[in-house]
Amino acid sequence: MNHDTLQKLRKMRLPAFAKAYAEQANDPDTYSALTFDERLSLLVDAEFDTRTNNKVRRLLKGAHLPDSSAYLGGIEYLPDRNLDKDLFATLRTNEYLRKGLNVMLIGATGCGKTYVACALATNACRNEYRARYYRLSEFFGDMEAARLQGKYNDVINQLRGIPLMIFDDFLLIPTTQDEQRDLFILLRARDEAKVSTILCSQVSIAGWHERLGSGGVADTLLDRMTANGYAITIGGDVSMRKRHSRI
């Protein structure tokens, strides 16, 4: 009977349940004091935990984060960084994702913008939200390739509904008209879908307008992003890379 049950569990794609069931069957003395409900609960927990962990691993891999080990508990609230612990406590709850709010991380090179963004993304993935990281130049490259392959609308539709997208090195250099159009189309679609975007930039928000062409597209983009988002300026006299240098 045990063999038949194990085979059925495996055919139903319940491998963790089957493994835990086999362990109970092979060691009856350990589990004899438990009630049926308690033993069943252990089996269900084994399958549920395995599926959840596998899903989190898939989400983290699919996010393409440069640092998937980053976590919110690793953020350093040094005095010169001017980070608001209360705000990050709020962000930890992922309420901003449920509301489709944006996060704009502004600061000099090396201040830790990418780490903070990755920490927010890993927190999202561990709570079973999809995320996707892009350096802005990589995004523009992918959009140009999609345009040439006739897949532009397909790619926009794939990206518009991702609960959390990160654009790093945002507006590091001025954008072309095609790039402005790509950003406008995607960010407008994401705003309409009420999903969240994190922008990491060395350029102040006031300076984004010029790098987006200083026209109507710039006005619309900035209005959409800043009206529903948190602007976080990360300070620091010494870069985080130098603080943690191995030398």
pLDDT for 187-223, tens place per residue?
999 999 999 999 999 988 888 888 887 777 778 778 8
Binned at pLDDT 50, 70 and 90, residue 240 comes out as low
Q: How far apart are alpha carbons 156 and 153 in whole angstroms? A: 5
Q: Would you say residue 64 has pLDDT above 70? A: yes
Q: What percent of the chain has pLDDT over 70?
A: 95
Q: Is the pLDDT of residue 158 over 60?
A: yes
Q: Is the pTM of this model over 0.75?
A: yes
- pLDDT above 90 covers a percentage of the chain that reads 52
pLDDT greater than 60 at residue 184: yes
- Of 94-103, 131-140, 153-162, 227-236, minimum mean pLDDT range: 227-236
